[in-house]
């Protein structure tokens, strides 16, 4: 097993926003990176191949191919695919290969994935990403968990990650992430619902004044614009994550009413954005407005009954 992380062959499963950011930051340090994504081999592969060519990333054709050549694997896929990816990679993983599960999955899902990878001779470590990746890139706060977490931590730090060990017990890191997401993802959904309804009734300014009085440390204009855009752009992925949040709550015997509602709202906004994106004009009206009111008006134009 290669012990110098700068000599690792890194494999990234999932070449979406997070996977590409990690690949870019690793390549700038001269680390060799391969990647696999389910879009490879489909009509949607074009942007992936362009990005890979620009950054010196080798795209491979299967999970097993990637696993068979990697010293260190990062799984950065949608939440529902965390266990299926571990199962697919176990067929090719080499003895001693590190497997970092970057996905927002429940503690139960992480334990199932660990059983697959460890059973095939790899070293599974759960990772819980504690905030949005793009602003921090590879230095995003990252909680590690599992028996191999302490051994992997300094190796990741050398590569520029910002890891902290939560526990040697699997599930603690992901539980921290999931319980936080009950609040964070729920707040996104509540702000969208609250301010869109307030806009419809013409009381948004009064609502914002009241919110500022109650929570004076938050710039609600700026925060609302950010929440609207994150859900519009990433609502599909975020709704999957929140379904895992709901499963986390369900695993301890609570009915996840709040999380279920959040997942539905996130998916609903994503469906609405897709409807606009793939409409007759072929253009996307939801386009990174810095004013949440613009997005709320677009939502209301779709749902508000005509008088």
More confident residue, 235 or 41: 41
Asked whether residue 184 falls in the same domain as residue 241, the answer is yes
The residues facing 165 across adjacent strands are 144
Asked whether residue 102 falls in the same domain as residue 231, the answer is no
Which range of residues forms the domain containing residue 142? 5-168
CA gap 303, 307 in Å, rounded: 12
In total, the chain counts a number of residues equal to 307
3-state secondary structure of 56: coil
Asked whether residue 240 falls in the same domain as residue 151, the answer is no
pTM of the full structure: 0.86
CATH of the domain at 224: 1.10.1040.10
**CA dist 188 → 185, 303, 305 (Å):** 5, 19, 24
Asked whether residue 220 falls in the same domain as residue 120, the answer is no
Asked whether residue 10 falls in the same domain as residue 136, the answer is yes
The pLDDT tens digits for 135-162 are 999 999 999 999 999 999 999 999 999 9
Residue 292 scores a pLDDT above 60: yes
Under a CB-based contact definition with an 8 Å cutoff, are residues 74 and 89 in contact?
Answer: no
Asked whether residue 15 falls in the same domain as residue 149, the answer is yes
């Amino acid at each position: 097993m290669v012990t110098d992380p700068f000599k690792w062959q890194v494999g990234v499963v999932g070449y979406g926003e997070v996977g590409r950011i990690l690949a870019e930051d690793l390549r700038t340090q001269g680390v060799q990176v391969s990647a696999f994504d389910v879009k490879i081999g489909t009509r949607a592969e074009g942007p992936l191949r362009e990005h890979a060519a620009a950054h010196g990333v080798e795209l491979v054709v299967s999970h097993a191919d990637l696993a068979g050549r990697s010293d260190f694997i990062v799984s950065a896929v949608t939440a529902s695919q965390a266990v299926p990816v571990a199962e697919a990679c176990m067929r090719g993983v080499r003895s001693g290969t590190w497997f970092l599960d970057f996905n927002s999955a429940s503690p139960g899902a992480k334990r199932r994935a660990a059983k697959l990878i460890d059973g095939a001779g790899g070293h599974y470590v759960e990772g819980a990403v504690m905030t949005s990746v793009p602003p921090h890139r590879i230095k995003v706060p990252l909680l590690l968990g599992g028996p191999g977490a302490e051994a992997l931590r300094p190796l990741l730090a050398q590569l520029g990650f910002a890891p902290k060990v939560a526990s040697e017990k699997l599930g603690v890191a992901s539980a921290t992430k999931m319980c936080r997401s009950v609040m964070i993802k729920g707040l996104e959904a509540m702000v969208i619902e609250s301010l869109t309804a307030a806009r419809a009734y013409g009381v948004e300014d009064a609502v914002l004044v009241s919110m500022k009085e109650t929570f004076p440390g938050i710039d609600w204009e700026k925060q609302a614009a950010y929440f609207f855009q994150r859900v519009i752009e990433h609502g599909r992925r975020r709704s999957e994550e929140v379904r895992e949040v709901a499963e986390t709550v369900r695993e301890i015997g609570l009915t996840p009413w709040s999380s279920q509602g959040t997942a539905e709202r996130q998916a609903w906004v994503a469906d609405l954005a897709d409807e606009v994106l793939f409409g007759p004009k072929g253009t996307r009206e939801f386009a990174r407005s810095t004013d949440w009111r613009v997005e709320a008006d677009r939502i209301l134009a779709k749902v508000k009954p005509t008088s």
